[in-house]
Amino acid sequence: MMILTDKKPRVTVEGILTADEIHEIQHHIEHYPYPRAACLDALKYVQRRNGWVDDAQMNAIAQMLSMSVADLEGVATFYNRIYRQPVGRHVILLCDSIACFLMGAETLAEAFQRELGIQFGQTTADGRFTLLPICCLGNCDKGPTLMIDEDTHGLVDVTSVKQLLEKYV
């Protein structure tokens, strides 16, 4: 919905964000001295409900937080787990740090790409998986490491790829 004024059109929050999203963002705002401090919480909440954050949602969130869309976009793109485009039902984050690389992450990545039929940054045709690289998962002593959704898997080898994927139907 657009409201026309003398200056420029403004997108309203209603119709873009759900009532639950608006309520939750307002709840987070109350816990900070400045509304913009709730930006990461707001982005994570909207993404948790939708899988990603689209442009209209970014505009509505920025409006609620009294910040520019450019500033909010800066936060969203800084954190590699805020998705600005659609992703699969399950997101696979494969660590490509030096520790995991030395433990076979490159070979593991090739195995996932073969099994899924996609490259990094792509989603399977059935919308089940998105495969993304990530610089470090902080599990270096158990490399190579990956995350599927919120589950961390360490010491993963190429022989366990198919079995691991089958857990996420």
Residue 3 confidence (pLDDT) above 60: no
Q: Is 39 annotated as a binding residue?
A: no
Distance, in Å, from the CA atom of 114 to the CA atom of 151, rounded to the nearest integer, reads 22
Q: What angle do CA 91, 104, 143 make, to 5 degrees?
A: 65
Q: What is the pLDDT of residue 12?
A: 58
pTM confidence score:
0.83
The tens digit of pLDDT for each residue in 118-133 reads: 999 999 999 999 999 9
Residues 6+ apart with CB under 8 A from 143: 95, 97, 99, 100, 102, 103, 104, 105, 154, 155
Q: What letter would DSSP give residue 109?
A: H
Q: Is 135 annotated as a binding residue?
A: no
- Cis, bond preceding 33 (omega within 30 deg of 0): no
Residue 51 confidence (pLDDT) above 90: yes
CATH number belonging to the domain at 90-166, selected among 3.40.30.10, 3.40.640.10, 3.40.50.1860, 3.30.450.20:
3.40.30.10
CATH assignment, 2-78? 1.10.10
Q: Is 140 annotated as a binding residue?
A: yes
The tens digit of pLDDT for each residue in 136-160 reads: 999 999 999 999 999 999 999 999 9
Cβ-contact 155, 140 below 8 angstroms? no
Question: Strand 129-134 relative to strand 146-148: parallel, antiparallel, unpaired?
Answer: unpaired
Residue 16 confidence (pLDDT) above 80: yes
Residues counted in the chain = 169
Q: What is the pLDDT of residue 125?
A: 98
- The residue ranking higher by pLDDT, 15 or 11, is 15
Domain boundaries, the chain: 2-78, 90-166
pLDDT exceeding 70 applies to what percent of the chain?
Answer: 93
The tens digit of pLDDT for each residue in 91-107 reads: 999 999 999 999 999 99
